[in-house]
Amino acid sequence: MDQNIKLISESLEEMLTYFNTIYQDELDILRGYKTKLMEINVKLEELTNTQRVYSVGTDYKRNIFSPIAYESDESEREKNIEDEIADLKKKRDDLENKIDNESIILKAYETRIAKLKQASAASRTISKSMASEAARRVKEEERNSFITQARIDDENRSKLQREREEQAAEEDRRRHYISILKLIAFKDTYVSTVIDKRIKEEIGVNNHRLNAVKRNVPDDVRLSLDKIIRKNDEIINISEEQLRRMDYDFRDDMSLDLLIADFVVKHRMAHKGVEIEYIKSIFEKTYDFIQKKYIMCVMDIVFDNIYKHSSARKVVMETHEDDEMLFISISDNGIGIPDDYLEKSEWYSGLHRARELVYLLGGEMEVSNLMSGGTRVDISVRA
């Protein structure tokens, strides 16, 4: 082996040592990131478990949307935990980004090290007559490899950045959707609280007063008071009906699977002419107030539509989950639904409202006719 080939071999070994050292340093950095990520995940799990403890037993009858709600020390502690969880999640996302970047860097170094090893082995077998050509070829291949790998790395980084930006934009839209639903829930809770506390209860108190007064008045006045009391009772009943429509009695202290089971029982009792079969599954996920409230609202709309328009005698409902979504399927054996129902029905109709609510919950809703007759509604929402 002449002096030139020897020099090339020595240079290759030095470069291999250099890149191996850098690779080991980057690997140590990656391990450090992963260790920190594991610590954050452990802390997140601890805080999430603690948060569940503070969440148990909360009186949602007077929930956060009610103007008469009471903020307990547990609620304040839960809020602090939520803030700490959000901060840890941000740190976790930052670490995951750093881990992704370090993995890309390590992959590039692995490629270069592998090529250097191949070049070093090849240089030892090159004959004296091909030493100069081999050195030129190795250098040229190394240069091209570096340029190609750098271009691939740039493309991968650009693609990863675009994906992250798209995901961030989607998450931002979803936060707005949830805020819209919270505002609607706040309005309903506020109005229903006024009806319940400032109107219905006041009328009840006045009726009590009228009952006390009519004992000491003439018969003709007593008859007039009885009419007033009856009218007041009618107003109270109307108020109760409106409160029910506004979900004032919504049991958000119950889990979603129990809410659905209770929903089925109530509908079986109220609509005995329609057979309701529920194929239920085990719910692994925990759903928040907004998800439970509007999932039940969508189900109420679908069943109400079946009773009013389908002439169905049987309804089959099935639920199941995967890693990200909750799926609800509702089928009936009725007369079906026109293909152009979306175009023909008013914008404020029940199915229109249900589709928009599902969209705000991060899912989709499809209505189709069955080959055997009847209608199938498929609902998916983010779990």
**Does 79 lie in the same domain as 152?**
yes
**Does 221 lie in the same domain as 156?**
no
**Does 224 lie in the same domain as 150?**
no
Q: Is the pLDDT of residue 78 over 80?
A: no
DSSP string for residues in 22-91: HHHHHHHHHHHHHHHHHHHHHHHHHHHHHHHHHHTT--GGG-TTSTT----HHHHHHHHHHHHHHHHHHH
Q: In the prediction, which pLDDT does 321 show?
A: 93
**Does 334 lie in the same domain as 216?**
no
**Does 355 lie in the same domain as 302?**
yes
Residue 250 falls within a domain, yes or no?
Answer: no
For 162-203, the pLDDT digits (tens) are: 888 888 887 877 777 777 777 676 667 767 777 777 788 888
The backbone region for 242, taken as left when phi is positive above 0, alpha when psi lies in -120 to 50, beta otherwise, is alpha
Residue 181 falls within a domain, yes or no?
Answer: no
Residue 310 in 3-state DSSP? helix
For 296-321, the pLDDT digits (tens) are: 999 999 999 999 999 999 999 999 99
Residue 213 belongs to what domain range?
186-245
Q: By the 8 A CB rule, do 207 and 232 touch?
A: yes
Residue 88 falls within a domain, yes or no?
Answer: yes
Q: What is the pTM of this model?
A: 0.49
For 251-268, the pLDDT digits (tens) are: 778 899 999 999 999 999
Average pLDDT, the chain: 83
**Does 190 lie in the same domain as 71?**
no
Q: In the prediction, which pLDDT does 311 show?
A: 93
**What average pLDDT score do residues 30-45 get?**
86
CATH of the domain at 148: 1.10.287
Q: In the prediction, which pLDDT does 219 show?
A: 77
**Does 192 lie in the same domain as 153?**
no
**Does 225 lie in the same domain as 197?**
yes
Q: Is the pLDDT of residue 57 over 60?
A: no
Q: How many domains, in total, are found in the chain?
A: 3
CATH of the domain at 348: 3.30.565.10
For 105-131, the pLDDT digits (tens) are: 888 888 888 887 887 787 777 655 555
Domain boundary among 199, 221, 245: 245
Residue 342 falls within a domain, yes or no?
Answer: yes
Q: Where is average pLDDT lowest: 200-204, 243-247, 266-270?
A: 243-247
Q: Is the pLDDT of residue 140 over 50?
A: yes
Q: What percent of the chain has pLDDT over 70?
A: 89
